[in-house]
Structure 1
C-alpha cells in the first residue's frame, strides 16, 4: 500500500483532535485505490504491519455518513496548508524506563563563591566596628593573579583601645550568622584555637568544589606573621573588597614560600611551588610598576626591622631558585646575587649600618 510521506512522518505526532480525520482519510484512500498528496511530497511504501493492520480493521462505513463533506475534511487541493498549520511540532520520543538526564546549573563558580564568602565576612566585621584587609591567595587574586584562591586570609584591625582576640571574632561571626559559619576543632588535640569555616551548600557551588564542602577563613591580628597594623586610609580596595597594600602582599607571599619550603609535612612542603608561582606572577602585574620608583621596603609602618632583614635573604634565595626573577627584583631596589653568589645590588633607603653587610652565599 502507498501513502503520503507527509502522513507517514506526522501520523503519530499530530494533535488528538486531528488524528481520527487523518486515519479516516488514509482508510478512504485505501478503499478508493488512489492517494491524495497533502503536501506535494513523494509517496512511500508503508512497511509497518501494525499500522496496516490498524487500517484494515476498520469496518466499511456508510457512504452518506462518512463523506469528506460531512466530516468537513479538506479535499486534497485544500488540505496541505490547513493541516500543516494545525500540526504541533513533533515531540521527542522518550523510551519508557530510560531516565531523563538533567543538567544542573550552579549559580556561582568556585572563585565567585570565595568572593561571596569574603564579602559576608567583611560585612560582619564592619558591623561590629572592626576594619579588615585581605591577604594570601585571595589578596593575590584581587590584584590580578590568575590562580583561583583556596581559602580566605583576613587581617583584622580592631579599633584602638579595644582588646579583642581572634577567637572572640570567630565566635562573633558564628553568632551573627550561624546558618553559614561554624567552628571546628583542629587536628591537634592540644590546640586551644578553633577553625572558622563557611559551609558551602550544593546549591551554591558544584559538589566537591571545596574540600568537605567547606571554605576555611583565617583571621589574624597585626604583628602575627609580621603583618602590619594598617590605618583605614592605608587599606586598599579591589573589586569591592579591602586588601593589604601590594608591597606588603608581595613580601608576605615571599615569606609563605620561604616557610613552606622548610616544612617537614609533605602537603605543606609542596605548597612552596604554588607560592613561588604566585610571587612570579605578582612581579608581572601592573601594580609592580609604581614600586620600582617608590621602593617602600624600608617603611617601618609596613615592615618591621626583623621582617626587612628576613626579606633581604628571602629575595636572594628566591633569585637562586628562580633566576628569571632577578631582573625584576633588582628593578625594585633589592640586591640580587651575581654569578659569584655575591649580592650585586643594595636596597635603597636609610637603614642601620649592620644591615649593609654583604650577604655571601654558602658556597662562596
Structure 2
C-alpha cells in the first residue's frame, strides 16, 4: 500500500526521536533522504535510517525501537530461507505498515558522518548531500552489475534519481571540495562510477534557468567537482 510522504516522515520522526533520546545520532538516506532535499520524481515507500554508532549492531538498534514504542515498531521474521535477522516495520493500522531499514557506518560503504555535518530539513536529520548522492551512484552501479534480475531492474530507478539529484546539486551549489572529509577511497571509487554514468546517460535533460541552455550530464558532474 502506498504511503503519503507525511506518513513516511512520521515514521522517520518517531524513530529519530527514540534514537536521539538514547544519545544516538542518526540521519535519513535512501528515498526519504532524497525527498527531504526536494526530489519529486517518486515518493519513498520505506524509511532508511543510518545510526552513527559502533556500540550497537543493526539488530540491537531495531530492538531499541521496538522496546520504546512496541505499538508502532514491530519485528517480523524474514522470508529469506536461513535468515537469522528480522524485518522492522512501523504499523499505522492493522492494514497499513512501512518497512524501516536500520543501517550503521561501514555497511554498504556508508561513511561515518559527524553529527555537526548532518543538516536538519523539515525537522528531520538528512544525510549530508554529497554522500547521499554518491551512495545512490554506488547503488546504481551495484544493481546494474548484479546477477539478480530484480536488482538489475532497480538500476533504472536509480538512474532517474541520480539525474534529479544532480539538478538539485547544481541548484544548491554543492561541491566535492566541501566533502573532502569523506574517506578518500569512497571519493576515488565514485570517480569511476561517474565516468560510467556519463557514458550511459550523456544527456541530462536539464536546462539552466538563466540562459536556457541545455546542460549535459558531464557538465552537471563537473559543476560539483567530478
> For residue 178 of structure 1, what is the aligned residue in structure 2?
70
Higher relative contact order (CA 8 A, sep 6+): 2
- Displacement of 1:288 in angstroms is 5.1
Tell me if the contact between 1:183 and 1:197 (Cα under 8 Å) persists in the aligned partners: yes
> For residue 43 of structure 2, what is the aligned residue in structure 1?
148
> For residue 225 of structure 1, what is the aligned residue in structure 2?
108
1:132 paired to 2:21: no
> For residue 80 of structure 2, what is the aligned residue in structure 1?
188
- Displacement of 1:333 in angstroms is 2.4
Tell me if the contact between 1:246 and 1:287 (Cα under 8 Å) persists in the aligned partners: no
SS of corresponding position for 1:284: helix
Tell me if the contact between 2:25 and 2:115 (Cα under 8 Å) persists in the aligned partners: yes
Greater radius of gyration (CA): 1
Q: C-alpha root-mean-square deviation of aligned residues, in Å?
A: 2.0
**Deviations, residues 275-307 of structure 1 (Å, cap 9, x unaligned):** 111110011115654324x5345x2x32x2332
Q: Identify the range of structure 1 (250-259 vs 264-273) with the bigger mean alpha-carbon deviation.
A: 264-273
> For residue 189 of structure 2, what is the aligned residue in structure 1?
310
TM-score by length of 1: 0.55
Q: Hey, what's the Cα distance between the residues in 2 that align with 1:185 and 1:265?
A: 22
Q: Hey, what's the Cα distance between the residues in 2 that align with 1:295 and 1:125?
A: 31
Q: Could you list the runs of 5+ residues in structure 2 that have no partner in the other structure?
A: 204-216
Write 1 or 2 for the structure with the bigger share of strand. Answer: 2
> For residue 326 of structure 1, what is the aligned residue in structure 2?
218
- Displacement of 1:157 in angstroms is 1.5
Q: Hey, what's the Cα distance between the residues in 1 that align with 2:85 and 2:127?
A: 25
- Displacement of 1:117 in angstroms is 0.7
Query: Which of 115, 119, 126 is 2:13 aligned to?
Result: 119
Distance 1:262 1:295, change over 3 A: same
Tell me if the contact between 2:140 and 2:159 (Cα under 8 Å) persists in the aligned partners: yes
Count the aligned residue pairs. 211
1:295 paired to 2:177: yes
SS of corresponding position for 1:214: strand
**Deviations, residues 170-220 of structure 1 (Å, cap 9, x unaligned):** 011111111111112222232222111112327xxxx7xxxxx32111111
Give the 5 Å matches for 1:24-173. Answer: 110-146=4-40, 147-158=42-53, 163-173=55-65
Give the 5 Å matches for 1:235-254. Answer: 235-254=118-137
